Amino acid sequence: MSVVDMRVRIGSLELRTPVLTASGTFGSGREYADFVALSRLGAVVTKGVSTEPWAGNDSPRIAETPSGMLNSIGLQNPGVEAFCAEDLAWLAGRDVPVIVNVVGHSTEGYVAVAERLEREDAVSALELNISCPNVDEGGMAFGTSCAAAAQVVRAVRASTSKPLIVKLSPNVTDIAEVARAVEAEGADAVSLINTLLGMAIDTRTFRPKLARGVGGLSGPAIRPVAVRMVWQVARAVGVPVIGMGGIMDAEDAAEFMLAGASAVAVGTANFVDPAATVHIIEGLERFCAQRGIARVAELTGAIRE
């Protein structure tokens, strides 16, 4: 039995640990089952799911950059029916909360996915993705305007009884303003940050390194930006904040919690170390034990200013 109480709450969700997976980096969990005992995670946050299948963007879809990577996957997914029949059916027996990342090209698209997932008991919560920079319609377009964000959250809120987490884009002037707008429409929590819009050009060929030209930057390169935004949002809203952006180890996770996050998500680090989530959970437990912290939740907002 652990000496540190690792449980945290995100609204009505009680999580075993504060470490989640970041959407799009962990498939539906199945892909990592050879490396991670999923039941140790706070939750599995799935790849984005839309009503109909999406083919995603052309290749190349990734590029390595200093302390990070660009991606432009484009939310490729098999659609919500196939997701429920295959991924969710598999996840349902794994003793881990499932948070489904929901994507759409339109408000109706988001609502349709939320309505379809309403009858799935295996879904613990929804994460509304209004921040993907890699699609032409929808995605980030909803997350970079307070009015658009409020409108889609209102519509989805009315169509689901499940806890609703809204994933915010860092590609805005004032992220706290967007956070307040979605809180006002009934979001139960906010998660941030999604990737930062970026670009890399191959100087041998003069071509963009990504087929789509631009993509989303992730990894340690964006961590200071993410910590700053979590800190700003945590003091602007009353709902819990899930922090992410380049978390590679337990100290990074602690940094986000000190800034005000109630839980954290691990993304790019999964590619470096497929068991990164478990290593971060173990490290966070040691981090607390070494400092006489009885409950990991005590870290949330414990920054000394």
Nearest Cα to Cα of residue 190 among 172, 216, 209? 172
1: which residues sit within 8 A by CB, 6+ positions away?
none
Task: Please say whether the beta carbons of 41 and 20 come within 8 A.
Answer: yes
Tell me: does residue 147 bind other proteins (CB under 8 A). Answer: no
Instruction: Name residue 122's amino acid.
Output: A
Q: Which of 1, 173, 204, 304 binds other proteins (CB under 8 A)?
A: 204
Nearer to other proteins, 31 or 115 (CB): 31
Cβ of residue 188: shortest distance to other proteins, in angstroms?
Answer: 26
Task: Please say whether the beta carbons of 255 and 227 come within 8 A.
Answer: yes
Q: Which helix (H) or strand (E) holds 45?
A: strand 44-49
Binding mask 9-28 for other proteins (x = CB under 8 A): ---------------xxxx-
Task: Please say whether the beta carbons of 43 and 58 come within 8 A.
Answer: no
Q: Which stretch binds other proteins (CB under 8 A): 1-9, 54-62, 135-143, 236-244?
A: 54-62
Distance separating alpha carbons of residues 104 and 106, to the nearest angstrom: 5
Nearer to other proteins, 25 or 194 (CB): 25
Binding mask 152-191 for other proteins (x = CB under 8 A): ----------------------------------------
Q: Which of 35, 95, 136, 201 binds other proteins (CB under 8 A)?
A: 35
Cβ of residue 80: shortest distance to other proteins, in angstroms?
Answer: 17
Q: Would residue 132 show up in a list of annotated catalytic residues for this protein?
A: yes
Tell me: does residue 61 bind other proteins (CB under 8 A). Answer: yes
Q: Which of 273, 282, 283, 298 binds other proteins (CB under 8 A)?
A: 273
Catalytic residue among 84, 132, 146, 288: 132
Largest CA distance in the chain: 57
Tell me: does residue 56 bind other proteins (CB under 8 A). Answer: yes
207 C-beta neighbours (distance < 10 Å), count: 12
Distance separating alpha carbons of residues 36 and 31, to the nearest angstrom: 10
Nearer to other proteins, 77 or 159 (CB): 77
Please give the C-alpha separations between residue 166 and each of 88, 139, 158, 284, 295, in angstroms, as whole numbers.
20, 12, 14, 25, 26
Q: Which of 60, 79, 186, 301 binds other proteins (CB under 8 A)?
A: 60
43: which residues sit within 8 A by CB, 6+ positions away?
13, 15, 20, 21, 96, 97, 98, 99, 124, 125
Tell me: does residue 219 bind other proteins (CB under 8 A). Answer: yes
Q: Which of 13, 73, 234, 297 binds other proteins (CB under 8 A)?
A: 73
Distance separating alpha carbons of residues 99 and 165, to the nearest angstrom: 9
Q: Which of 272, 292, 304, 305 binds other proteins (CB under 8 A)?
A: 272
Nearer to other proteins, 47 or 157 (CB): 47
Distance separating alpha carbons of residues 29 and 51, to the nearest angstrom: 20
Q: Which of 9, 62, 120, 122 binds other proteins (CB under 8 A)?
A: 62
Distance separating alpha carbons of residues 173 and 169, to the nearest angstrom: 10
Q: Which of 64, 118, 137, 174 binds other proteins (CB under 8 A)?
A: 64
* Catalytically annotated residues: 132
Residues that bind other proteins (CB under 8 A): 24-27, 31-32, 34-35, 47, 55-56, 58-69, 71, 73, 76, 202, 204-205, 207, 211, 219-221, 268, 270-275
